[in-house]
Structure 1
């Protein structure tokens, strides 16, 4: 259940962040509402993850790293942002760091 809540928090944050791109500085109502709802929902779900006992370092590390990675990939694949090889290596390092954090916490 905790992992599903964490996945929900990640997806909510990604939706909110992506909607921010389309809000044009929060001047467009629908994307702005989606952005605010997504971010608030992400923090609410993250709070439930923490309430269920996951450590804050692991939960936040996974949430942040997966969010950054997914948003970067969405930007590159769907929004024309591009992704250099240096950025791709950086994303791989972020994900590797979170895996190390999770594996270290498991033992």
Structure 2
């Protein structure tokens, strides 16, 4: 999952270079990054992680890392309120994961 997130963040950040007329190399990073990220996300799903949880973790951490990296690399604004928003997104994904675990445990004990 971690490598899927890193590839997605790298691809997203590379879009900046592509959008400003960067070389074809950046386009390759975008295509391979997104392709590899989705493939690895599929691998995670085949190992039994629920789709909602896997996608939630992948997207929430990806959004947070992309925002932090864009602030560091491209001097994009990241206000305290933005940081709170990122925290809320991550907290929501954690709650969804806990809820999924609880639901799986509850249905397993009823059988």
Judge same fold: TM > 0.5, yes or no: yes
Residues 1:98 and 1:9: Cα distance change in structure 2 (over 3 Å) = same
Note the alpha carbon deviations across 1:16-38, whole angstroms, 9 max, x for none.
11111111267620111001100
Unmatched 5+ stretches in structure 1: 1-5
Query: Of residues 28, 49, 52 in structure 2, which corresponds to 1:33?
Result: 28
Residue 63 of structure 1 corresponds to: 58
Mapped pair 1:42 → 2:17: no
Aligned residues: 102
Mapped pair 1:73 → 2:65: no
TM-score, length of structure 2 as denominator length: 0.86
TM-score, length of structure 1 as denominator length: 0.90
Distance 2:21 2:8 in 1: 17
